[in-house]
Amino acid sequence: MQETNESAAEVVLEQDSLLRAGRADVFKVRDRTRRNRILRLVAVLLLIDGYLWWRFSTLPADQRDFGFPSLGPDAWLFLPMFLLFGAIALTAALPLFNGRSPHLFVRPEQIEVGIDEVRGLDMQVDEVRRSLDVFMGYATFRGELGGNPRRGILFEGPPGTGKTYLAKAMAKQAGVPFLYISAPAFQSMWFGMTARRIRSYFKALRKAALREGGAIGFIEEIDAIGGSRDGLSSSSSAATPEGSSLRNTISAMGVNGGDSGMVNELLIQMQSFDQPPLRQRMRTRLIEWINGYLPPERRIASSRPEYNNILLIAATNRADSLDPALMRPGRFDRRLYFDVPTKTERRELIDYFLERKTHHEQLDGDVTREKLAHDTLGYTPVMIEHLFDEALLVALRQGRRHMNTADVYDAKLTDEVGIKQPVTYTDGDRASVATHESGHAAVAYFLGKGRRLEVLSIIKRRQTLGLLAHGDQEERFTRSRSELEGAIAIALGGLVSEELFLGESGTGPAADLSSATEMAAKMVGALGMAGSLISYEAIATGPLSSANLVSKVLGDGDGKQRVEDILTQQKARVAALLDENSDVVMALRDALLDEDELIGDEISAVIEKALANRN
């Protein structure tokens, strides 16, 4: 019903030229507030001017010499006493000041970005535009259509996907104050002050809305104060009836009274947006007192609370941990998910950021930008902007004032795998690392369907002595069983290569085995690819069960054996492949020992040359 009303409101708002041009409902209130402020200022100035004129006109002519008041020559003797009383009063009032809301009040003209400048969030922008249409025309929506505007929108998604960015753009688009606060800032060391800070924040929202015709509040990381009140985990409710008594006992032990109080206060304040201001409450009490002396037919009607045009936005990357009461209509009416941008959206972001950063003309090519959009799969908008900033730093270190394509990819490699570390390997370690990485590359070339070899290196970065970076040739969202088996085979390529060409494996394959085990456990316990359709993900997560899928699978004897079978089969497959293509592995190893690092086509060139020599 509410969706129907909002759609109808949008039609009205688009057809009415006054609302479309002037955002009438909000600006009517703002203009009324401005006129009232001017009238109050004029009244105060007239009173002061009248008093001064009266004093001046009633004084004798010889006493009309005005001056500043003075305390006398002995006033300094009272200074220590006043300072002592002031310190005592300040100490006593400190807890009261602690209850003030620590929010940041931002006016729309202070916000740099508008909603038209948001890139890579087309679906989210379209949704918030519709919400802003109703927010700006709230009087029309309520009075003519009888609808209830949205009061809250929850932004959820990974960090850096533009949640705060879009909220600020909404405030600038609406032209109303923006009250920003981080949820942990509500917490206080004084008992009861956390709830008071929440009340103060919503009081400031109501005041701003009444004064400016509307206000947008934004709470960052709301899961810090809006977590579920069900105890250790809400998913424990899926336990069987036989375990209900134990579950209830554990949940009761896990409840934190202070956190529950924060959630309760937040729920109350979100339900009480239209709480009347102090002057209206005093007027209502006066009317009630007068009505106590009047007969029922002559009693004075009290006014209803004025509607507060507030839109509350909250952001979190842990929406599943929020209390269910926050999600009901009337509180957070809409949930918007912010995912990492698609290739098309990444291209828009790349175009947007490059317009604002100095770069070489080679980055203006459509093919180059398309390739860059493809290579930044999984990047958030913040990560893409940071990538270009790092590329500019690379260019500056080389004495240039603009970045080129090589700078961007150099910065990308540094961000993803770390800075090169000047470590001198022994001859044995150098040969071992080169053999290990060559095995990965050979398996990826022959078994990696649709994979592109990007970097093959034996230079130490972070915790890795060497690496093979490879990615999809096209943007993919699903994987087949054969592709997952191929990924496991690539992970085992280094181990098998060491065993075949060095006689034994070392400590290098540790991370590879962890990755291969995790993929095999997912095939067994979640994807039904190992002969059983049972999903270990369906096991409830609670105090007596693990949230880690690998531990669930390996904790089951049958599941562990299935994982072992997959790993053993893929190891045998890789051993046969590398034994057949030992010349390719040797060619890659020799190239790495000579060059230390191979990039892109250089890897493919070495492999193709080895195959050509074989023929």
Q: Where are the domains of the chain?
A: 1-59+100-228+262-273+308-339, 343-416, 427-614
Calpha distance 26→538 (Å, rounded):
49
**Helix %, strand %, coil % for the chain, to 5?**
60, 10, 30
What tokens appear for 470 in the block? 């490879």
Domain covering 1-59+100-228+262-273+308-339 in this structure, CATH number: 3.40.50.300
Question: What's the fold here for domain 427-614?
Answer: Methane Monooxygenase Hydroxylase; Chain G, domain 1 (1.20.58)
Q: Per residue in 598-608, is it b (16+ CB within 10 Å) or e — as a string?
A: bbeeebeebbe
Backbone angles phi, psi at 57, to 5 degrees: -75, -25
Eight-state DSSP code of residue 477: S
**From start to end of 498-610, where are the E strands?**
597-599
Contact 165, 113 (CB under 8 A): yes
Long-range contacts at 287-296 (CB < 8 A, ≥ 24 apart): none
Contacts of 540 (CB under 8 A, 6+ apart): 235, 236, 238, 239
| Residue 512 pLDDT | 92
Q: What parts of the chain have a pLDDT lower than 70? A: 1-25, 61-69, 95-99, 230-260, 272-274, 540-547
d(Cα 502, Cα 509) in Å, to the nearest integer? Answer: 14
- The span from the CA of 518 to the CA of 563, in Å, is 9
pLDDT for 297 equals 80
Q: Which stretches within 175-213 are classed as H helix?
A: 193-212
Q: Structure tokens of 59?
A: 């004084």
| Token pair 């003075």: residue | 70
The whole-model pTM stands at 0.71
Identify the bridge partners of residue 104 per DSSP, sorted by sequence position. 180
**What pLDDT is stored for residue 578 in this prediction?**
94
Contacts of 607 (CB under 8 A, 6+ apart): 441, 442, 445, 584, 587, 588
Sole residue written with tokens 């409902």 = 25
Residue 561: which of 521, 511, 526 has the closest Cα?
521
Contact 349, 341 (CB under 8 A): yes
Q: Could you give the 3-state DSSP secondary structure of residue 529?
A: coil
Please tell me whether residue 336 adopts helix, strand or coil conformation.
strand
Write out the two tokens for 354: 């490059």
Contacts of residue 434, Cβ cutoff 8 Å, sequence gap at least 6? 458, 466, 588, 589, 592, 593
* Short-list 178, 189, 177, 186, CA closest to 265: 186
DSSP letter at 568 equals: H
CB 458 within 8 A of CB 433: yes
395 token code pair: 């260019």
Q: What is the CATH number of domain 343-416?
A: 1.10.8.60
Dihedral angle of Cα 577, 583, 589, 590, to the nearest 10 degrees: 180
Structure-token match 């019903």, residue found: 1
- The helix-helix angle for 24-58 and 122-136 (nearest 10°) equals 50
Q: How far lies 413's CA from each of 235, 285, 418, 432, 455, in Å?
A: 40, 68, 7, 23, 9
Q: Which amino acid is at 425?
A: Y
Give which of 215, 178, 412 is closest to 310, Cα–Cα.
215
CB-based contact 352:119 (threshold 8 Å):
yes
Count of Cβ atoms closer than 10 Å to residue 93 Cβ = 10
CA distance 8 to 261: 39
